[in-house]
Structure 1
Amino acid sequence: MIKIYAPASIGNIGVGFDILGASIIPIDNSILGDYVTIKNYKKFKFVCIGKFSTELNKNLKKNVVLQACKNFFKKIKKKIPKIKIILEKNMPIGSGLGSSSSSIVASLSALNIFFKNPLNKEEMLKMMGNLEKYVSKEIHYDNVAPSYLGGIRIIIKKNRIIKCQKIPHFKNWLWVIAWPGTNLSTQVSRSVLPNYYARKICIKHSLNIATFIHASHTNQEKLAIKYMKDVIAEPYRKKLLYKFDEIKKKIKKIGGINLGISGSGPTIFSICTKIKIAYKIKKYLKKNFIKKNGFVKICKINSKGAQQIEKNNYETI
C-alpha cells in the first residue's frame, strides 16, 4: 500500500503570474492538502472520501485522479491493473489553493512509487501540467510544481522539458491564507483578464519579478516585499472578491506587509513577520472576509512538497 499527501499551494504569489508558486503548510499542523492511497485489489476501483468529496463531479469518470491514472498507464504502456485508489479530498474546489493540483500530484506520485518509479521528475511534471489543462483548459505549473517538489518554484520550459528551480524564501515570513467559503473557477477568473497589456505594464511586471527574484537570492527582505506586486491579474480579479481594496488597506494598518490573491482566488494571502500580527490578521479576516464553511490558516512555506506517509510520519518523495 502507498499513501501520498500533496500540500496546498499558492499560485502566482502575486508577482509571478503563471510562473511562480509556493507550497504551504499550516503552523498548527492541520491538514491542508489531499491524500491518495493505492493498494492491490480484486478489481480496479476508485473511491472518493473526505470533507470536500461531495463537491466533486458526481460522475467519477470525469475525476482528475482517474484521468491521471489513464495518462500514467498510457505513458508507461501498460493496462490499468487491479488496484484500489482512494482520494481523500480535503481541499475545497475552486478555492485558489491548488485543489486540483493536490489531487493530481498525490495520485501521480502514488502511482509512480507503487509501480517502482518508471517516470522521472521532468516526465511527471509535464504530465501534471497536462492534467491541469484537463481541469482549467490551460496548461500551467505554478501549483503542481510547488505541491510536488516543495518550496517556492519558478517554472522553466526548455525544448519541451519542464524544469523547476527553487527560489530561496524568507523563513521568518508567515503566510496568512483565507478562503472565504465560496468557489471561483480558474476559467472564470482568467476570463476577466485582458488579452493584451500596455507596454508600460509589461515593463513594470518584468521589473517586479526580476527584482523579487534577485532580492530573494540576495536575502533583501524589504526589497522583495516592495516589488512583490501584481500588475497583471489583481487589478482585474479583485472585483471578483469581497471588498478586496478595503481589506487590503486594513491588513496593512494591522501590520501585514503584503496582501495578494492566491492563484485565481477567491482565497487571499497576507504576509507578516510576527506571530502576534498574524493572529490579529487571522481574527480580522475571520470576522470580515470569511463566510460559512470558510477558514483562515497561518502557514509557512512547505519545503518538502508531496510526501509518502509511513507509519504516521512524513517522508519526502
Structure 2
Amino acid sequence: MSIEVFAPASIGNFSVGYDLLGAAISPIDGSLLGDVVRVDSASDYQLITEGNFAQQLPANASDNIVHQCYELFHQKLERKGVEQDALLVTLEKNLPVGSGLGSSSSSIVAAFAAFNQWYQEPFSSRELLLMMGNMEAQISGSLHYDNIAPCYLGGLQLMSADESISNALPWFDDWYIVVANPGTNILTKAAREAIPSSIDLTQATAYAQNLANFISSLYRQDKRGALYHLKDVIAEPYRYELLPNFQKHKAELLGHGASAMGISGSGPTIFAVCENLEAAHGVHDYLAHYYNENDRAFSHICQLNQQGAQQLSKFGEDEACRSSI
C-alpha cells in the first residue's frame, strides 16, 4: 500500500494577527504549492528527499524534520499499543526553506497526516495538531500554530488559547491573494529576533483594535472595514528592512491594484490582497518583474485553500483517489 498527502503553503500572521492568524493558499492555476509526503511499505525504515528544494534540507536524514515527525508519531503510537510498520517515507520538498510560506509546517503537516492515514487514523485532529505544534516549535524556537493550523485545516484560522487550538474565520470568496518570493530566504528565528521583546501600550492598543475590527468586519462581510484594518503594527515596522525594497513596492502596488499588502510570515515572501482578478493579474505582473533577486524567484495568484491537507492518492486498493483528510 502507498499513501500520498499534500499540505499547502500558508501565510502566517496575515499582517493584522501576529502569531494569531494564518491562511492556507492555493494558486488559481491548479498547481500544488506545498510539500508532499509519500508513505510506502518497506522492509526497513528509510527517508528519501526529492523535489525542487531538497538540496536545502539537512544532509543527514536524522536532522530532517520529517524524520523527527516519524519518531514522535511512532512514540505516541507505541503508547496506544498499535503495532508499528517499517516505512519508506519520501518527502517531496516543493517550498523553499525560510520562504515565509510555512515551509516547515507544510512538511510537518504532510508527514503527520500521511502517517495517521497509514495507520487508519489512530489520532484525532487535535492530537495531531499538538504533535505538529511540538515539531514546529523545535524549528522556530517558540510554539505557535498560525502556519500549522491553516495548513492542516484550511481556510483563514484564528488561534485560540483553549482546547480548540484554532477556529476558522469567514472570508470573501471573490478576493485574490498574490504571493511573491524574491528567491532569497529568511530564517524564522532571525526574523523573530528583529522584533522587540516588548511593545508600548499605544502600539498594543492599535494591534488589538485592528485585529478585533478586522475579524468583526469579516463576520459582517464588510470589505472596506476589513481592508482598512488589515495592518501590521507589530512585525512589519521592524522586519521590512530584511526584504528587498519592500516599502517601495508596497507604495507602488497600493496605488495600482492591491487593496492591502503585507509580509507573509517572517518573509521574504510578500502578499497582496486584491478585490478582483484583473487587479490580481496586474499586481502579479509587477511583482514577477520587480520583486525578484535571482532565477529562484516565483509568484502566484492564489485564493484561500479551504481544504487544507489532502490525501492525493492511496494505492494498493481498487483505485487511486484525492480526498480531504
Aligned residues of 1:37 and 1:86 also touching (Cα < 8 A): yes
Aligned residues of 1:10 and 1:21 also touching (Cα < 8 A): yes
Letter in 2 for 1:113: Q
Q: Which deviates more, 17-26 or 76-85?
A: 76-85
The DSSP-based 3-state class of the residue aligned with 2:255 is helix
Please give the root-mean-square deviation of Cα atoms over the aligned residues, in Å.
1.2
Q: Distance in 2 between matches of 1:232 and 1:39?
A: 44
Structure 1: gaps (5+ residues): none
Letter in 1 for 2:200: A
Displacement after TM superposition at 1:313 (Å): 5.2
Deviations 1:148-197 (A, max 9, x none): 00000011122xx3522100011111100001100100000000100110
Aligned residues of 1:175 and 1:270 also touching (Cα < 8 A): yes
Q: In structure 2, what is the equivalent of residue 139 of structure 1?
A: 143
Q: In structure 2, what is the equivalent of residue 302 of structure 1?
A: 305
Letter in 2 for 1:298: I
Displacement after TM superposition at 1:81 (Å): 3.0
Q: Distance in 1 between matches of 2:292 and 2:322?
A: 31
Q: 1:195 aligns with which of 191, 194, 197?
A: 197
List, as ranges, runs of 4+ consecutive aligned residues in structure 1 with deviation greater than 2 Å: 78-81, 310-314
The DSSP-based 3-state class of the residue aligned with 1:283 is helix
Deviations 1:283-312 (A, max 9, x none): 111221112211010000000000001367
Q: In structure 1, what is the equivalent of residue 316 of structure 2?
A: none
Q: In structure 1, what is the equivalent of residue 222 of structure 2?
A: 220
Aligned residues of 2:260 and 2:273 also touching (Cα < 8 A): yes
Q: In structure 1, what is the equivalent of residue 283 of structure 2?
A: 281
Displacement after TM superposition at 1:14 (Å): 0.3
1:112 aligns with 2:116: yes
Q: TM-score, normalised by structure 2?
A: 0.95
Q: Distance in 1 between matches of 2:142 and 2:84?
A: 26
Aligned residues of 2:77 and 2:84 also touching (Cα < 8 A): no
Q: In structure 1, what is the equivalent of residue 171 of structure 2?
A: 169
Q: In structure 2, what is the equivalent of residue 66 of structure 1?
A: 67
Q: In structure 1, what is the equivalent of residue 56 of structure 2?
A: 55
Q: TM-score, normalised by structure 1?
A: 0.97
Q: Which deviates more, 74-83 or 10-19?
A: 74-83
Distance 1:59 1:79, change over 3 A: farther
Displacement after TM superposition at 1:201 (Å): 0.5
Displacement after TM superposition at 1:79 (Å): 7.4
1:125 aligns with 2:125: no
**Aligned sequence identity (%):** 40
Q: Distance in 1 between matches of 2:124 and 2:302?
A: 30
Q: In structure 2, what is the equivalent of residue 250 of structure 1?
A: 252
The DSSP-based 3-state class of the residue aligned with 1:260 is strand
Deviations 1:239-259 (A, max 9, x none): 101111111110011121011
Q: In structure 1, what is the equivalent of residue 85 of structure 2?
A: 81
Q: Which deviates more, 149-158 or 18-27?
A: 149-158
